[in-house]
Structure 1
Amino acid sequence: MPAAGALPANIHCAHDYEDLARQALEPAVFAHLAGGAGRDVAVRNNRAAFEALKITPRVLRDLKAGSTRLSLGGEARPHPIWLGPVAFQALFHAGAEVETARAAAAVGAGLVASTLSSVTLEEIAAAAGPDRWFQLYVQPAREATLDLVRRAEAAGYRALVVTVDAPVHAPGLTSLRAGFRGGQASANLAGWTAPEAAPAPGESRVFQGLMPAAPTWADIDWLRAQTALPLWLKGVMHPDDARAALAAGVDGLVVSNHGGRELDSAPSSLSALPPVRAAVGESFPLLFDGGIRCGEDVFKAIALGADGVMLGRLQAWALAAAGALGVGHMIKLLREELEVCMALAGCVDLADIRRAEVRAETWAGKEGPC
């Protein structure tokens, strides 16, 4: 492992941080991070979807004015890479989310701080750059939800990202079998106690015990009326849900199957991206999350309709290996991998990527347009 303040040796690409994280973390924690829900089917499908896509090279194009810049939500950004919300980062590094925030500020990456963070949202904001958003889990008590919203506003977060795909948590067999038992507490929820709903005899522990506290579209309508911050929904995979979000007045969507950590039989995030893009139109802000490991993956997600991508496991692996320096280095590598891919595919900017030829290819040699 690297000495403090030093870059890790033998890191040649962003994905190399996975192997270093495996060395740095307790085996149960690494299993928790790498695994997903159930038998990890959705985790594998996220990667398989990327690997099935091929990018057709283009040649002899003038790319000396090439750039990864974009504008989203009225703000200019140097590249399309966000650090997505990752819970309880003290599991991976003693500096936790503060280290991640420092890295995001240093390399111009958008940061999405989690409700379930190891340190408070105010501490994260103090270390972060201006491009910071707050990921919100709607709480059983509206008072607790509103408290989080007001604190995020006061701390200078520029948007709320409401995770909507986890009304209950699906157990992950990889994590459980490795001995991971959780037990972390969110610093942001100190002082708030979730009411317990005990189902009556014969009732379901899920439907009558847990689902009464789960958010609905009524909560999104309520949130929209409580804040002037841009409101994003994370975890939208179906075109009908995307259209309902538009009708509710949200400002953006994140197409995501939660990194394969909830519904194990969910389709890959990548396969859901084109129909969601078609449902919301070409100009509606759309981010992607689920399975990004290299710059070519970023290219493919943008080609299929995303404006930018969020990183989950890559972020945590780099944090575990080398703290803020590792996270910043990983983003630098990922951006350069994207730029190399753009150059070889003949794309001068992100808009050009949307016109690139990306197609599915099987081992049998059968191809089809995406």
Structure 2
Amino acid sequence: MSTPRIESLPEGLANLADFEAPAQARLDANAWAYLNGGAGDEITLRANRAAWDDIRLQPRVLRDLAGGHTRVTLLGRELPVPVLLAPVAYQRLFHADGELAIAHAAAAQGAGLVLSAQASVPMEDVAAPLLADPAAGPLWFQLYWRDDPAFMRALLRRVEAAGYQALVLTVDAPVHGARDRERRAGFKLPEHIRAVNLGGLKKPLDLQPGQSALFDGLMPRAATWAQVDWLRAESPLPLLLKGVTHADDAREALARGVAGLIVSNHGGRTLDTLPATAELLPPLRAALGPDVPLLVDGGIRRGTDVLKAIALGANAVLLGRPYVHALAASGALGVAHALRLLRDELEIAMALSGCKTLADAGPALIWPGTSRPRTSP
């Protein structure tokens, strides 16, 4: 299938949160636990959303905003709107069209797309609609490290040949978090859904009696800074790291020539009680300086959230669960509609805040008298 099916939209969709109920109605308990659950007590999952709510805006008035726009430039490419779809695995778990649907939606709305290495649709099929539209947003490929250089080289060559423009290495999930919702639901991936771009089997663990499967088996295979250097040497594509939360790691990444960072706590799905991404953003921007591309995900639901993220130092944001809710609710049309709603809200927020362009959104836009993320490492 090269084009997604067209479905009708549920009634009453005024914002991104409105997609959640129709999505849940169409998904079984297995898929819903995987999508909406977080790690542990889900403290970080809730904090991501609450942090954006706690930040207040301080607008300016009577400015000339004629000719304003939402465009930004990222890695030399202009985006119509500073929004990318975050990598989410196994999207055919939520809709039969899976990643094909979100690719068409992103192309139609000028959003970028970061495809998960664990996508359930071939990477070439996902790339086609974005590459066919010169006005489409950027197309990046997300990687998890696999301790098999030959496999990784073959994967990189395929990613490059398919037209992807950057690599995103996820660095905050060498193992799964303790996801109670999934365990209670007995989550299991259906047999007809798999990571179609990852051929072959992982090498079995070679453990001696009494050894830890995690520390003696998995962790010796996990990525380190040496693998970051290896990826930079092996591929001409720019490399971004997703999941950096500490300023010292940000500086280390910069010293090793990484092209940019994505501030992320994995949507609260790995280590619980991490700070919210809105809190992490300012110190990481301070560590990187003004010129290194910095993106953020986690809890983004409103156009005001996008504007706040830009004011706190982000160049763009990534949308996660909300677009998957839209996918589950009504396929490609649902995702396109969600992206349009978010863009409309961003334009409204800019106009009401006195921002002609996103370059006008800086720290002064954040009201200092309310809860405000710390700004030093």
TM range (shorter): over 0.9
What is the match of residue 285 of structure 1? 293
What is the match of residue 102 of structure 2? 100
Aligned match of 2:165 in 150, 158, 166?
Answer: 158
After superposition, the Cα gap between the structure-2 partners of 1:265 and 1:182, relative to the gap in structure 1 and judged at 3 Å, is: farther
After superposition, the Cα gap between the structure-2 partners of 1:328 and 1:150, relative to the gap in structure 1 and judged at 3 Å, is: same
- Structure 2 distance, partners of 1:167, 1:355, is 34
Are the equivalent residues in 2 in contact too, given 1:285–1:307 (CA < 8 A)? yes
Are the equivalent residues in 1 in contact too, given 2:6–2:332 (CA < 8 A)? no
Superposed CA deviations along residues 40-83 of structure 1, whole A, max 9, x for unmatched, are: 11101111111111112322222122110111111111110001
- Structure 2 distance, partners of 1:355, 1:209, is 45
Aligned match of 1:272 in 264, 275, 280?
Answer: 280
Q: Counterparts in 2 of 1:246-261, with a 5 A limit?
A: 246-261=254-269
Superposed CA deviations along residues 226-278 of structure 1, whole A, max 9, x for unmatched, are: 11111111111111100110111111110100111100121111111101100
TM-score (norm 1): 0.94
* Deviation (angstroms), 1:357: 2.5
- Residue type of the partner of 2:60? R
Q: Unaligned 5+ residue runs, structure 1? A: none
Superposed CA deviations along residues 276-330 of structure 1, whole A, max 9, x for unmatched, are: 1000101111111111111111111111110000011011111101111111110
- Structure 2 distance, partners of 1:368, 1:102, is 36
- Residue type of the partner of 1:327? V
Quick check: 202-211 or 271-280, which moved more? Answer: 202-211
Whether 1:316 and 2:324 are equivalent positions in the alignment is yes
- Structure 1 distance, partners of 2:39, 2:188, is 14
Are the equivalent residues in 2 in contact too, given 1:25–1:92 (CA < 8 A)? yes
After superposition, the Cα gap between the structure-2 partners of 1:350 and 1:144, relative to the gap in structure 1 and judged at 3 Å, is: same
What is the match of residue 186 of structure 1? 195
After superposition, the Cα gap between the structure-2 partners of 1:321 and 1:367, relative to the gap in structure 1 and judged at 3 Å, is: closer
* Deviation (angstroms), 1:203: 2.1
- Structure 2 distance, partners of 1:367, 1:165, is 25
What is the match of residue 342 of structure 2? 334
- Residue type of the partner of 2:156? V
* Deviation (angstroms), 1:8: 2.5
Aligned match of 1:236 in 238, 241, 244?
Answer: 244
Are the equivalent residues in 2 in contact too, given 1:100–1:324 (CA < 8 A)? yes
Which secondary structure does the structure 1 equivalent of 2:284 belong to? helix
Quick check: 65-74 or 92-101, which moved more? Answer: 65-74
Aligned match of 1:346 in 343, 354, 372?
Answer: 354
- Structure 1 distance, partners of 2:297, 2:290, is 18
What is the match of residue 365 of structure 2? 357
* Deviation (angstroms), 1:128: 3.0
* Deviation (angstroms), 1:132: 1.0
Which secondary structure does the structure 2 equivalent of 1:189 belong to? coil
Q: Counterparts in 2 of 1:71-82, with a 5 A limit?
A: 71-82=73-84
- Residue type of the partner of 1:189? L
* Deviation (angstroms), 1:4: 4.4
Aligned match of 2:175 in 149, 162, 168?
Answer: 168
What is the match of residue 54 of structure 2? 52
* Deviation (angstroms), 1:369: 8.1
What is the match of residue 62 of structure 1? 64
Are the equivalent residues in 2 in contact too, given 1:40–1:174 (CA < 8 A)? no
Quick check: 348-357 or 32-41, which moved more? Answer: 348-357
After superposition, the Cα gap between the structure-2 partners of 1:306 and 1:198, relative to the gap in structure 1 and judged at 3 Å, is: same
Which secondary structure does the structure 1 equivalent of 2:290 belong to? coil
Which secondary structure does the structure 2 equivalent of 1:323 belong to? helix
Superposed CA deviations along residues 164-221 of structure 1, whole A, max 9, x for unmatched, are: 111111121022213323365310112x211122332222221102101101100010
Aligned match of 1:141 in 131, 138, 148?
Answer: 148
Are the equivalent residues in 1 in contact too, given 2:282–2:373 (CA < 8 A)? no
TM-score (norm 2): 0.92
Q: How many residues end up aligned between the 2 structures?
A: 364
Are the equivalent residues in 2 in contact too, given 1:53–1:361 (CA < 8 A)? no
What is the root-mean-square deviation in Å for CA atoms of aligned residues?
1.8
* Deviation (angstroms), 1:127: 3.4
Q: Identity over the aligned pairs, expressed in percent?
A: 51
What is the match of residue 205 of structure 1? 213
- Structure 2 distance, partners of 1:317, 1:256, is 20
Which secondary structure does the structure 1 equivalent of 2:249 belong to? helix
What is the match of residue 308 of structure 2? 300
After superposition, the Cα gap between the structure-2 partners of 1:367 and 1:163, relative to the gap in structure 1 and judged at 3 Å, is: closer
- Structure 1 distance, partners of 2:29, 2:342, is 26
Q: Unaligned 5+ residue runs, structure 2? A: none
After superposition, the Cα gap between the structure-2 partners of 1:142 and 1:368, relative to the gap in structure 1 and judged at 3 Å, is: closer
After superposition, the Cα gap between the structure-2 partners of 1:367 and 1:248, relative to the gap in structure 1 and judged at 3 Å, is: closer
What is the match of residue 15 of structure 1? 17
- Structure 2 distance, partners of 1:237, 1:367, is 17
Quick check: 203-212 or 221-230, which moved more? Answer: 203-212
Are the equivalent residues in 2 in contact too, given 1:359–1:369 (CA < 8 A)? no
What is the match of residue 214 of structure 1? 222
